[in-house]
Homo-oligomer: A and B are copies of this chain.
Amino acid sequence: MSWAEPRLRILGVDPGSRKTGFGFIDWSGRQSRWVNSGCLKLPEKMELPDRLVFIAEKLEALVQAEQPDCAVIEQMFVAKHARAGVVLGHVRGAILLTLARLKLPLHEYPPLQVKQTVVGVGSADKQQVGHMVRVLLNLKQVPQEDEADALAVAITHAHNTSSLALQVVPK
């Protein structure tokens, strides 16, 4: 596969109340290629508003550097632990605001669809997701959990982009 081909650069984000994973991949319409991924660890002692600023600034810098065509995030359902759900809602709201202000087209997928796309079964566990992300992107090692989830949602969008031809911008 030649990467002189047009490609879609996808940013996947996995928001968390303590850590937020991110992953950039390039999708040629046939294959995904890893570009960049990692984990933003939120400083624990920071007050929530400052943590939101921290994450917004880091995300903006990553988007500036990697210039994705779109961003993808898992749909959020009601959390098992209501308190964690409230904080996660704040983090997710700050991330959606930041990405929307950067004018990135935003896509959301339910967690079930992400697991189905990446592993083949909706009941897949974290380990299986990490393993398949490693295989699909030809990585030397399994990424850390939030990083793998961010890459998995990016891969999901790649595989579910039916009208790629319309979206791909030659670079």
Residues of A within 8 A of B (CB): 47-50, 52-53, 56, 76, 78-79, 82-83, 85-94, 96-101, 106
Q: How far is the CB of A33 from chain B (nearest CB, A)?
A: 27
Residue ID in chain B nearest A57 by CB atoms: B101
Residue ID in chain B nearest A104 by CB atoms: B49
| Subset of 19 A-B contacts with CB under 8 Å | A48-B96, A49-B99, A49-B100, A52-B96, A53-B100, A56-B97, A78-B85, A78-B86, A82-B85, A85-B86, A88-B89, A89-B89, A89-B90, A90-B90, A90-B92, A91-B93, A92-B93, A93-B93, A94-B96
Which residues of chain B are within 8 angstroms of A49 by Cβ–Cβ distance?
96-97, 99-100, 106
| Identical chains in the assembly | 2
Q: How far is the CB of A71 from chain B (nearest CB, A)?
A: 10
Q: How far is the CA of A90 from the CA of B52 in the complex (A)?
A: 11
Give the interface centre of A85, A86, A87, A92 by most chain B CB atoms within 10 Å.
Answer: A86
Across the A-B interface, the 5 shortest Cβ-Cβ residue pairs: A89-B89, A90-B93, A93-B93, A49-B100, A52-B97
Which residues of chain B are within 8 angstroms of A82 by Cβ–Cβ distance?
78-79, 82, 85
Residue ID in chain B nearest A78 by CB atoms: B82
Give the interface centre of A85, A94, A97, A101 by most chain B CB atoms within 10 Å.
Answer: A97
